Structure 1
Amino acid sequence: MSADVTAVDGTQDRKPRLSVLVAALVGVLALAAALAAGHLVAAFVGLNSSPYLAVGNSAIDLTPTWLKDYAVRTFGVYDKLVLLGSMAVVMLVLAAVAGLVSRRSVVPGTVIIALFGLVGLVAVFNRPALGQLSLLAPVASLGTGVLVFRWLHRIAPRSAVAEHENTETDPDVETASADPNRRRFLVGAGGVAVGAGVVGLGGQLVSSARDAGASRAAIGELAVAEPAPPVPADADFAKLGTPSFITPNNSFYRVDTALIVPQVRAEDWSLRIHGMVDREVTFTFDDIRGRPLIERTITMTCVSNEVGGPYISTANFIGVDLRDLLLEAGVRDGAEQLFSTSEDGWTCGTPVEAALDPDRGAMLAIGMNGEPLPLEHGFPARMVVPGLYGYVSATKWVRDLEITTWDARNAYWLDRGWGERGPIKTMSRIDSPKGFANLGAGRVVVAGIAWAQPTGIEKVEVRLDDGPWQEAELSTVVNDDTWRMWQIELDVPPGSHKATARATDRSGYTQTEERVPAVPDGATGWHSVLFNTA
C-alpha cells in the first residue's frame, strides 16, 4: 500500500506515522517482552534454551579460534560477560531499527522481530544438550515478540501532515484526538515494561529454585579414605612473590565455553559409561560418594595459556580413580578415545591409555580443597587427568563417557583445529618482579613457578640481561603432577634490565626458546620481564 494517496479535493494525504521515539520504543519493548517470555519458559524446560543464551552459545561455537584466544587473553574470566553485553547492545539497536522502519506500516518491524525469534529457534534446535521441549522457549519468545510489537504499534499515537494542517484552524483537534491515544500507549508501554520485568524475574526465581547451590550445601563434608600427603611449609615462596602452593577455590582459573554455570543437583546427576565396553554402566552421585574417596594434589593447566600466562592452578581434588570405573565397564581392545560430554553439551576427547594408566592417577572428582566441587568448577562431578591440558582432560559437569576411536568422534576443540592429545609442555614463569617494576639496585629476588606434569621439574635457571644462566633454588617437591616454585637473588646494577627463566624437567629436557602460539597444542618460549633499578 502506498504511503501517499490523493484526496478527492486534490490535496496530498499521508498515512499517519509514529514519531521516532515512539517507534524505537515499540521495538525495544517488544524485544524485552520476547526475551522475558523465553527466559520464563526456559526456566521450566532448561535454562540454556533461553533464546538469548542459546544465541550466545552458538556465537561462541561459531567464533574463530583466533578470536576466542584474543577474548580469553584480553578479558580473562569476563570474556562471556563481554559477549553477552555486546549481544545486548546489538539486539537493542536492531530492535529500535525494527520500530523505526515501521513508523507507517507494522509489517517491516514484524518481519524483523520474527527473524529474531527464528534465529533463537535455530540456535536452540542446534544445541546438542537440549531436547525437543526446549523449543518451547524460543517459540514463546517469537510469539510474544510479534504480538507485543503489533499491539503496541496499533495503540501508539500517530501524527500526520493532514492532522497538523487541521490544527492551523482548530488547535484543539490534534490535542483532543492525540491525548487519549498517548495516554493509552503510555499505559500499555508501561505495562509491557513492568510485565517483562516481572516475567523475567519470575523466570530467574524459578531457575534459582533449581539452583544446584542448595544441593551442594546439603552434601556437607566429604569423608576421604586416602588423604593427600600434607603440603610442606616450604613448597612455595609466596612471601617472595610466587602463588601459594594450593590455589584457593575462588582464585582457581576458569576457562570454559559455558555462558552460564550449569545447574545440576547431585540427586539428579548420573554418569553413563558406554561404547566399546563389555557392559554399559551408570553411576549416581551416591554411588561415587559411597566408594572410598581418595585425595590427590594436582596442578591443572589450560592450553590457552600464553608464555607467562595466568591459566594454571593447583588444588587437592577428592574423588575416585577413573580407571576403576572404566574397568568395571570393561574397555574393549581397539579403544582409543574417552569421549566425554558435559551437561551443557561440550565434548572432550581423552586418550584411553592416559585414563587407564594407574601411574597417572586420572580421577572422577567430586571435591576440591576439602569441600564439594564449586558450581563453576564442575559440581557435581568432573574429570581430572594429570599431565594433559584441560581441553582434553578436564570435562566439568560431566554426564557421559563413551569409549570409542579417534576416527569415530571429534570433540569440541578438535573440530576447531587444536591437537588431538594435548600433553603439557615443560614451562616456567616469572612472578616477581612484575613487568616494568621500579626497584632499588643491589640484591633483587626473582621468583616464579615451573611445571612439567607428569614428569616433574628438575631445575630452573635464570639469567640477567645477556649474562650467564644461574641455577635457582627450588621449593620442596610435592609430586610430579604439580608445579614447583623457584627463587634466586641476583646482583643488579642501576638501569633497565631483563630477567629470563627456563626450566628443565626430570627427563633432562630443557624448555625451548622458540616462541609458538597456544594453537594447536600449547605455547612455548622463555618468559622474560623488564624492570628498572635505581
Structure 2
Amino acid sequence: MAQTSLRAWRAVACGVLALLAALAAGHLVAALINVGASPYLAVGNAAIDLTPLPLKDFAVRTFGTHDKQVLLGGMAVVLLGAAALAGLASRRSPWPGTVVIALFGLVGVAAVATRPGLGAVAVLAPLASLVTGVLVFRGLRGKETVASRRSFLIVLAGSAVAGVAGQLLASTKDAGASRAAVGPLVPARRAPAIPADADFAKLGTPPFLTPNRDFYRVDTALTVPQVRTEDWSLRISGMVDRERAYRYQDIRGRPLVERTITMTCVSNEVGGPYVSTANFIGVDLADLLREAGVRPGAEQLFSTSVDGWTSGTPVADALDPTRGAMLAIGMNGEPLPLEHGFPARLVIPGLYGYVSATKWVTRLEVTTWQAKQAYWLQRGWGEQAPIKTQSRIDTPKGFETVPAGTLRVAGVAWAQHTGIDQVEVRLDNGPWQRAILSREITVDTWRMWWAELSVTPGAHQISCRAKDKRGYVQTAERAGTVPDGATGWHTISFVAK
C-alpha cells in the first residue's frame, strides 16, 4: 500500500505530541522512583555537568540565579523544534521520526544511568519515555492511518493527566511539610546580638543579616532536592577509626550553636552580588569528626549531596576549633530553607562555597586529595579556596546620575576569617580617602562602610579597596573567577549634574 503523506501541520503535531507524551510518561515513572530520574531533568543535569567551564562562568555571570531556568527553557525550545522537524521528515514514512524519538530516549537513558545517586532501577523512567514516544508517534503517524483531531486530543489529554499525576506523586515527597514540622530551633549558644551600627542600610548598604529569601543561591541542582527529616541521614566514613551515622533527630537533639557567618561564592565577580550573611544554627562539625576519629594522613573531607554533587574541603579547616565549621540545620532563626540545603548543610567560614557549603549533605568521607576529586576540582577550579579580601560599592549605582556637590558613597567589604581593618575610596585618580567602618561583629562577617566625596559636574569614577587585618591591601590586578576567585578594585562610573 502506498505511504500516506500528511499535511505539514499534522506531521508537526505528531512529532510534538509524541514528545509531550514521552516526557509525561517518564516524569510519572520517575515520581514513583526518584524525581531526579525524570528524563528532562536528567538530561538537563547532564548538560550542566558537560558544559565547558568558560560557558558555565558566562551563564552565571549573564543570567545569575536564573541560569537554570534559562537552561530548561532553552532545552524546551530545542526539543520542541527537533520534534517538529522529526514530524516534518516523516510526512511520507514514520521511520525518520521513529529514529529521532528513539535517539532522544537513548540520550535520556544514558543521562539517568550515569547520574550519581539514582540507582539502576531509575532507568525505567527514560525507558518509559522511549517506549511511549515511539508508540505514540507510530500510532499517530502509522503506515495506514492518517491521525485525526480526536487522536491528537486523546494524546494531549493523556499527556496532561500523566504529567499532573507525576507532579502530584512527586509532591507527596515534598519536604515542605517536614520542614514545617521541625518547629523552633533553640541554640544553647547564641550568636552575639547584631547592634544597630553593624550596617549602614539607611545610607545604601545591604542589611547586616540577609533575609533568607534574598540570600544568594548558586548550585548545580536543576530542581530543589526534596529530603524529609525522617528520610535524611549523615554517614561519616573513610580514614576514620569508627564509621558513624546520624539521623536528623540525633543532630537536633544535641546542644545547638548559632554563628553569624558571611558566605561568598567563587563565581562572584568584583562588585558582584553573591555574598550574604546569616545566623546559622547547627553543631560543630569538628565534634562529629572527632567522634569518628580522623586518622593521620587524612587531607580532604569529601562531602556528597543527596543529588550526587560532591565537594572537597581541607580536613585541617574542618577540624580547626577557631574556624567554627558547622553542620547547619537552621538559618536566621528557622529551619534551613529547602533551596539552602534542608535538612542539613555544611557551613565552613572563610572558604568559598564550592569547597565549604555542601547543601543537602548526606555523606562525609575522610580521605586524601589524590584519592578523590570533587565536582569542581574535576572542572579546573582550585583545591584550596580561601576567600579573597574584597570590597564593593553599593551606592551610588553604576551609570547613575547624582547631584553635584557632596556625594555619600557606601558599600561592603569582606575578608572572612581574617577581618577587615579599613576601606579606602577615591574619586577618579585622586588620593585615597579612608572610609568610616561599621562595627565589627566577628572576623567571619562582612563590614559596611561609607565616605563623603566632593564631586563637580561631569563624568566621574569611584574606586574602593579594602585592607584586612593581616595588612594585605586588596590588589588592583584584575583576575576572573576561575580558578580560585576574582580580584581587582570595584570601580563604578557615574555622572554629576
Q: TM-score, normalised by structure 1?
A: 0.92
The separation in 2 between residues aligned to 1:232 and 1:492, in whole angstroms, is: 32
Partner amino acid, structure 2, of 1:473: I
User: Which secondary structure state, in structure 1, belongs to the residue aligned with residue 22 of structure 2?
Assistant: helix
Q: Which of 191, 211, 215 is the equivalent residue of 1:252?
A: 215
Q: What is the match of residue 349 of structure 2? A: 386
Partner amino acid, structure 1, of 2:245: T
Q: What is the match of residue 399 of structure 1? A: 362
Correspondence 1:312 to 2:314: no
Q: What is the match of residue 130 of structure 1? A: 118
Q: Is the 8 A contact 2:281 2:331 kept in 1?
A: yes
Q: CA deviation at 1:108?
A: 1.5
Correspondence 1:431 to 2:431: no
The separation in 1 between residues aligned to 2:349 and 2:375, in whole angstroms, is: 20
Q: What is the match of residue 129 of structure 2? A: 141
Partner deviation per Cα, 1:474-494 (whole Å, 9 max, x = no partner): 000000000000000111121
The separation in 2 between residues aligned to 1:363 and 1:16, in whole angstroms, is: 67
The separation in 2 between residues aligned to 1:266 and 1:360, in whole angstroms, is: 27
Runs of at least 5 residues in structure 2 that lack an aligned partner in the other structure: none
Partner deviation per Cα, 1:322-359 (whole Å, 9 max, x = no partner): 00000000000000000000011000000000000000
Correspondence 1:209 to 2:197: no
The separation in 1 between residues aligned to 2:287 and 2:217, in whole angstroms, is: 28
Q: Which of 77, 81, 102 is the equivalent residue of 2:69?
A: 81
Correspondence 1:286 to 2:249: yes
Q: How many residues align?
A: 497
Q: CA deviation at 1:437?
A: 1.0
Q: CA deviation at 1:16?
A: 2.5
Q: Is the 8 A contact 1:18 1:156 kept in 2?
A: no
Q: CA deviation at 1:273?
A: 0.2
User: Which secondary structure state, in structure 1, belongs to the residue aligned with residue 387 of structure 2?
Assistant: coil
Q: Is the 8 A contact 1:18 1:157 kept in 2?
A: no
State the identity %.
68
Q: Is the 8 A contact 2:408 2:451 kept in 1?
A: yes
Q: CA deviation at 1:18?
A: 1.1
The separation in 2 between residues aligned to 1:426 and 1:100, in whole angstroms, is: 57
Q: Which of 235, 243, 258 is the equivalent residue of 1:295?
A: 258
The separation in 2 between residues aligned to 1:404 and 1:140, in whole angstroms, is: 39
Q: What is the match of residue 55 of structure 1? A: 43
The separation in 2 between residues aligned to 1:396 and 1:100, in whole angstroms, is: 45
Q: CA deviation at 1:436?
A: 1.0
Q: CA deviation at 1:533?
A: 1.0
User: Which secondary structure state, in structure 1, belongs to the residue aligned with residue 157 of structure 2?
Assistant: helix
User: Which secondary structure state, in structure 2, belongs to the residue aligned with residue 274 of structure 1?
Assistant: strand
Q: Is the 8 A contact 2:3 2:143 kept in 1?
A: no
Q: CA deviation at 1:155?
A: 8.2
RMSD (Å), alpha carbons: 1.0
Q: Which of 415, 418, 421 is the equivalent residue of 1:455?
A: 418
Q: What is the match of residue 10 of structure 1? A: none
User: Which secondary structure state, in structure 2, belongs to the residue aligned with residue 402 of structure 1?
Assistant: strand
Partner deviation per Cα, 1:368-406 (whole Å, 9 max, x = no partner): 000000000000000000000000000000000000000
User: Which secondary structure state, in structure 2, belongs to the residue aligned with residue 454 of structure 1?
Assistant: coil
The separation in 2 between residues aligned to 1:84 and 1:372, in whole angstroms, is: 29
Q: Is the 8 A contact 1:360 1:385 kept in 2?
A: yes
The separation in 2 between residues aligned to 1:133 and 1:315, in whole angstroms, is: 40
Partner amino acid, structure 1, of 2:124: L
The separation in 1 between residues aligned to 2:283 and 2:153, in whole angstroms, is: 55
Give the greater-gyration-radius structure (CA).
Answer: 1
487-496 or 301-310: which moved more? 487-496
Correspondence 1:351 to 2:314: yes
User: Which secondary structure state, in structure 1, belongs to the residue aligned with residue 197 of structure 2?
Assistant: coil
1:195-206 counterparts in 2 under 5 A? 195-206=158-169
The separation in 2 between residues aligned to 1:414 and 1:16, in whole angstroms, is: 55
Q: Is the 8 A contact 2:93 2:143 kept in 1?
A: no
Q: CA deviation at 1:154?
A: 2.3
